[in-house]
Structure 1
């Protein structure tokens, strides 16, 4: 893939002369990975021009000031890490690039190490939000969007992306973002009932629920990224095997958890876990609006001995997943908020900060099924979204569930595994045992 960057622009916040303001990171932001997330979106032509996309982006960023802010470690501005909005610096990085080939030559959109050519660098970037517009010879477009995870979660960026599409089409933002951090309100007095220092933040209690801080690393070149596609008909067959009703995510995550465990060849007495991201917006009472911008995600950690997981079948695995997710309820989220109110001025380091790039025997499962990325419309005569995928991930054990864009819908599952395990998984990924 031949990609040539033709223009680089910094889109600053609306008023660079304004006095800067500080927005402390919430306890959810501080629990989130200190990394850039990369998403790639492919659109067939005809699609809006770069000029229209950039103009719409500028108008949209005015409503999302966190994306043009700067991240402070708290030493200069406050006792807590914070976003610094306004003043000098900051802004969003925009790259315009030309691709020598036709977009259809790269479809269906499959993971590739060449993806790094389609997005800005994510190692120690100067900007919290970056966009690269990759225009193909045929007029097709791949938009690469990278954002610092401590600024926003997937739900937040879904709100942003839909708003950007509306701005390009000359429409007002239908659902404006909500930045009111007072909605994450502690109880009076705050109190927490769960060991958040030890589960979400260091130090970890020894042998707690199968978590481990033993750092394990392998050469990133030994990692493979694959996409498994599950049409609605196949998902229906899986659900028919269950002894009760479970969501599509619960069903597929349990199914892939078992398959990955088999592909890894784990010993029967080993304790396998699946770390599931849980969106708290609708679990908190009263619920937060879907447009709340920031991070409101915690992790459920269902687990089982490998022997039980495999011999118990899909029904047993789905029940374990379901019960694990149900534990991360309003009470748990509120306890976490209260923990932040009590210990927020202390150093808080997430438990996974010391992990390497090998999660085994754990799997990390993230669902993008409830987001609205696939509904983004940039106009331009009808260019449709034909590809939607994370960038290359050099880590073992990540699974991302994405709405299928094919004719039959369904779910596409992005999986990052050690190469030899990914090969086995590909062979057994659609077996019904």
Structure 2
């Protein structure tokens, strides 16, 4: 019995009814409050997928994944629960052990190498499941060639990509029968507000980066998710190194890349009368900033902030990459401190129970003018080499985040080739995508031969 099917460009995926995989050991039902840094996340789902060239000859991949998932959910029990509202109307985790919905799917009419993964709307969308209940869901899609795609969607309020990467590594280890990695920590005291609370949070960096929803300006008229284009590109290691060199001494690869994106958005704004400014944000992880001793290395949850910069598009077009990278470095460094994260926890506490939002997503300039907005989130720690379920490393992997907001979203990740290249997921306005593709280097088309040409992973 087929539950549903998706057909696009002659590529059909038949999805069977999902089964629910519960933790292998009973879970005592309880409520786990979300931390203040979880509460700054909107109710959105994040997808991630892994392509394997030929695991179908290694028994039953779906059965292996389900058995390993049941074992892994014992330690990662929040993913087997669901987000519900508490008495104050705030979201919190109901750790009920309901389990994770896992669907098996079949793409018999095509081969994995035939997918145009650079165009995720047509190729990836049918492979990444839409979560209907619970905190997470999985889809395992088999292809005619014997290839398999393992894809997950998870509630961003439950955890960030760092946390989900920990889960993926543990799940793969369980499937291989390898020793389990260190268990996750849910020690909310790491993110407890300070007592007594600071007298005033006005004018703090947290107050400048986030805003209560009731005071958030409406998004620009042009900022509609329906108009967004989704792409996956590759960036060569040589181009990454050249960008970093052009950005100047002391600049990271991600800062250089962000500066380039900022300038490309300014170039795209030249053809748009709706945005005279460009707002560029960067997601910053706070684990090492809050605890330099490594105590938060295994913390499961969200530990993120989103610093940003705004500049007139005309000014950005007239500046060089090094100057733009210097600005990026300045506002990222200001937020990458333990004091800012402690301040952000206190600031959220002062707003509760009202929800808040990161200003970087709102598409507004310093004077309230419309701004083309984009946020960069590093996926460079995606542990693709450790997501081996017993049939080898993935030939390709990427996060998938066609979110409903008006701001663009760009996520660079390491290529599964292991040669220093990047894979970059892009969700942006069509005019921005056009400018990116006109760039003579950096954003290169993602070709099947690049991923599956040799049939082997280095």
Pair in the same fold by TM > 0.5: yes
Q: Is the 8 A contact 1:116 1:391 kept in 2?
A: no
- Residues 107 and 175 of structure 1: CA distance in aligned 2, closer, same or farther (over 3 Å): farther
Task: With the length of structure 2 as denominator, give the TM-score of the two structures.
Answer: 0.82
Which residue does the alignment assign to 1:403? Answer: 414
- Mapped to 1, the partners of 2:234 and 2:69 lie a distance apart of 32
* 1:248 and 2:249 correspond: no
Structure possessing the higher relative contact order (Cα contacts under 8 Å, 6 or more residues apart): 1
Which residue does the alignment assign to 1:96? Answer: 104
Deviations 1:56-99 (A, max 9, x none): 11111111011011212113xx6743111127xx3211101111
Equivalent of residue 73 in structure 2, options 61, 73, 80: 61
Which residue does the alignment assign to 1:366? Answer: 377
Report the alpha carbon displacement of residue 116 of structure 1 after superposing the two structures with TM: 2.8
User: Which residues in structure 2 correspond to 1:179-198 (within 5 Å)?
Assistant: 179-191=186-198, 193=201, 194=204, 196=206
Q: Is the 8 A contact 1:269 1:307 kept in 2?
A: no
- For structure 2, the residue ranges without an aligned partner over 5 or more in a row are 1-10, 364-369, 444-458
Which residue does the alignment assign to 1:282? Answer: 288
Equivalent of residue 121 in structure 1, options 90, 111, 130: 130
Q: Which moved more, 1:32-41 or 1:161-170?
A: 32-41
Q: Is the 8 A contact 1:198 1:204 kept in 2?
A: no
User: Which residues in structure 2 correspond to 1:332-347 (within 5 Å)?
Assistant: 332-344=340-352, 346-347=353-354
Deviations 1:197-246 (A, max 9, x none): 564231587xxxxx853353566553221233221111222223233221
Secondary structure of 2:344's aligned partner: helix
Report the alpha carbon displacement of residue 153 of structure 1 after superposing the two structures with TM: 0.4
- Residues 407 and 186 of structure 1: CA distance in aligned 2, closer, same or farther (over 3 Å): closer
- Mapped to 1, the partners of 2:12 and 2:440 lie a distance apart of 33
Q: Is the 8 A contact 1:74 1:82 kept in 2?
A: yes
Equivalent of residue 44 in structure 1, options 53, 56, 74: 53
Q: Is the 8 A contact 1:108 1:387 kept in 2?
A: no
Which residue does the alignment assign to 2:439? Answer: 428
Deviations 1:78-127 (A, max 9, x none): 6743111127xx321110111112111126554233433213224xx222
- Mapped to 2, the partners of 1:373 and 1:67 lie a distance apart of 20
* 1:143 and 2:150 correspond: yes
- Mapped to 2, the partners of 1:157 and 1:347 lie a distance apart of 27
Task: With the length of structure 1 as denominator, give the TM-score of the two structures.
Answer: 0.87
Q: Which moved more, 1:411-420 or 1:150-159?
A: 411-420
- Residues 114 and 413 of structure 1: CA distance in aligned 2, closer, same or farther (over 3 Å): closer
Equivalent of residue 312 in structure 1, options 305, 319, 337: 319
Secondary structure of 2:75's aligned partner: coil
- Residues 268 and 11 of structure 1: CA distance in aligned 2, closer, same or farther (over 3 Å): closer
Q: Is the 8 A contact 2:396 2:415 kept in 1?
A: no
- Residues 80 and 226 of structure 1: CA distance in aligned 2, closer, same or farther (over 3 Å): closer
How many corresponding residue pairs?
416
Q: Is the 8 A contact 1:213 1:351 kept in 2?
A: no
Q: Is the 8 A contact 2:16 2:103 kept in 1?
A: yes
Equivalent of residue 16 in structure 2, options 3, 6, 29: 6
Deviations 1:229-276 (A, max 9, x none): 221111222223233221111111111221122123267993322111
Q: Is the 8 A contact 2:118 2:232 kept in 1?
A: no
- Residues 331 and 354 of structure 1: CA distance in aligned 2, closer, same or farther (over 3 Å): closer
* 1:175 and 2:182 correspond: yes
Q: Is the 8 A contact 2:72 2:171 kept in 1?
A: yes
Which residue does the alignment assign to 2:423? Answer: 412
Taking only aligned residues, the RMSD between alpha carbons, in angstroms, comes to: 2.9
Equivalent of residue 387 in structure 1, options 380, 397, 414: 397
Q: Is the 8 A contact 1:43 1:384 kept in 2?
A: yes
Equivalent of residue 231 in structure 1, options 230, 236, 240: 236
Report the alpha carbon displacement of residue 19 of structure 1 after superposing the two structures with TM: 4.6
Q: Is the 8 A contact 1:10 1:91 kept in 2?
A: yes
Which residue does the alignment assign to 1:86? Answer: 96
